[in-house]
Structure 1
Amino acid sequence: MSSWDAAQYLKFGAQRTQPSRDLAARIPLEQPRKIIDIGCGPGNSTEVLRQRFPQADILGVDSSPEMIRAAAQAHPEMRFQLCDAGTELGTLDRDFDVVFSNACIQWIPNHPKLLREMMQLLRPGGILAVQIPINQKEPIHQIIQALAAGEKWKAHFPSPRIFYQLTVSEYYDLLGEITDSFELWETVYMHAMLSHDAIMEWYRGTGLRPYLAALTPELQQEFEKDVLDGVKQAYPVQKDGSVIFPFPRLFFLGER
């Protein structure tokens, strides 16, 4: 997979950060002393946790050296370290009051194993707090996948992207197996984008990355043009010129 670009990711920092604010606000602890942010990215979600729990010792971890460098530079008052949540959670402490993860685990396989390992990082009474994008059925994803599987482009994408998200029903059953106390909810964020090009700019930082990484710069431009043509068809322009970009996200909390 290509390296992450922190500057590209943060071009829509306010919109990307809002779900972490909403998730942090629902954590039912008054004064957690030790928190880990798994998949901290450039530190925007970790900063949300610091604002919500200023007395806590907070550690941000991510598998991307680029993201960790950006986080440490932007937030020198907090701690950040490299850690691949898919393989290295066992190397971390196991006495956190909050294990927090915002828009990260969709990139990691085997969620039954992953969520059990995340829960094991908590002390008894600690809270697991997770947000996952669930926009696989949204037009932007359908457009990209159809293009990647079509005659023009399929030779460039021999391995289609795998979506590791489970269904809401599967997460419910999984959480029921690892905790007696949990809740799930879904929020659809209606982002008002300035143009169709802005939707493309958003997706260059996340969902388009695996596809663009497989192409030469010239082919990247051509593929993006084909995606943009589809985006213009799928997302109507509002009276004020804005384009509404719906973005569904699943949240859950579970107690150790």
Structure 2
Amino acid sequence: MKWDASQYLKFERERTQPSIDLAMRIALPDPQRILDIGCGPGNSTRVLKERFPNADILGIDSSAEMVKSARETHPDLRFDVLDAGSRLSELPGNFDVVFSNACIQWIPDHPHLLRNMLGLLRTGGVLAVQTPMNYEEPIHQIVMEIVSSPQWQDAFLHPRVFYNLKQNEYVDLLAEFAADFTVWQTTYLHILHSHADILEWYRGTGLRPYLSVLPEERKMDFEQEVFRQIRERYPKQKNGDVVFRFPRFFFVAIA
């Protein structure tokens, strides 16, 4: 599945805010080596550089398209193509901070993944993670209902797998693997100008696994059905704006 950095960055401010909030919860005074897992087009890596200007920061992503965009937009920062699900062991380790904003939901086997992420840290280093948990929100339910409907289920022979665990399962894992940790959830209320903005947002992330396998002649019909239900389930405000709720789960753990 290919990623489109320009589509992703149409809502750069809203997508970047969780990484800002997460970075502010890292209490180390002057970390020297930071790894940004799932750096995408580099917006989260830039947040880390602004938060910790003295640090040597490496951003990694499995998408060559995203890394190309990151290098072009942030030429003063370092980026590499690397799949965090299978190649973390290739990194030298001993990082002060391992950071990951809106990435681990795409990677399987979170018990193994978290153990590996913590293993990249020096003793006392910080693992900081944010992952979306919007399963109860209308947009997620709309997409799941459509892809499993009789009209569309033949087009998705291999439905997307959601790798996130339940929040209490992360608590159990962190209690086992980390010296100390904090968990929290924030629900962002994004004020978008129209229902079309919600569709544009999801084109950059949640719809990509489905659009990437559809033939061109069916993509428009699929998007039109998603859009029809978005208009039904998201009420407009008095001024015409739409409130797009987006819950996200965070944790900061000490190695």
Q: Give me the TM-score of the superposition, normalised by structure 2.
A: 0.99
Distance 1:178 1:51 in 2: 29
Corresponding position: 1:140 with 2:119: no
Distance 1:235 1:218 in 2: 27
Corresponding position: 1:161 with 2:160: yes
Residue in 2 aligned with 1:92? 91
Letter of the structure 1 residue corresponding to residue 249 of structure 2: L
Q: Which runs of 4+ in 1 moved over 2 A?
A: none
Distance 2:174 2:43 in 1: 27
Corresponding position: 1:116 with 2:124: no
Distance 1:125 1:245 in 2: 37
SS in 1 for 2:40: coil
Q: Report the CA distance between 1:94 and its aligned residue.
A: 1.1
Q: Report the CA distance between 1:61 and its aligned residue.
A: 0.3
Q: Report the CA distance between 1:136 and its aligned residue.
A: 1.6
SS in 1 for 2:93: coil
Distance 2:82 2:174 in 1: 24
SS in 2 for 1:37: strand
Distance 1:87 1:9 in 2: 24
Unaligned regions of 5+ residues in structure 1, if any? none
Distance 2:73 2:35 in 1: 18
Residue in 2 aligned with 1:22? 21
Letter of the structure 2 residue corresponding to residue 24 of structure 1: A
Distance 1:222 1:58 in 2: 43
Distance 1:210 1:198 in 2: 19
Distance 2:162 2:53 in 1: 35
Q: Report the CA distance between 1:214 and its aligned residue.
A: 1.2
Distance 1:99 1:223 in 2: 38
Distance 2:169 2:153 in 1: 31
Distance 1:235 1:134 in 2: 18
Corresponding position: 1:218 with 2:217: yes
Distance 1:119 1:79 in 2: 21
Distance 2:177 2:193 in 1: 43
Q: Report the CA distance between 1:180 and its aligned residue.
A: 2.5
Residue in 2 aligned with 1:192? 191
Q: Report the CA distance between 1:218 and its aligned residue.
A: 2.1
SS in 2 for 1:68: helix
Q: Deviations over 1:187-219 (max 9, x none)?
A: 000000111100000000000000111112221
Q: Report the CA distance between 1:161 and its aligned residue.
A: 1.3
1:1-256 aligned at under 5 Å gives the runs 2-256=1-255
Q: Deviations over 1:148-173 (max 9, x none)?
A: 11111010011221110111100000
Aligned pair count reads 255
SS in 1 for 2:31: coil
Distance 2:79 2:146 in 1: 38
Q: CA RMSD in A?
A: 0.6
Moved more, 25-34 or 212-221: 212-221
Percent of aligned positions that are identical: 56
Q: Report the CA distance between 1:95 and its aligned residue.
A: 0.8
SS in 2 for 1:124: strand
SS in 1 for 2:235: coil
SS in 2 for 1:176: helix
Unaligned regions of 5+ residues in structure 2, if any? none
Distance 1:159 1:139 in 2: 22
SS in 2 for 1:128: strand
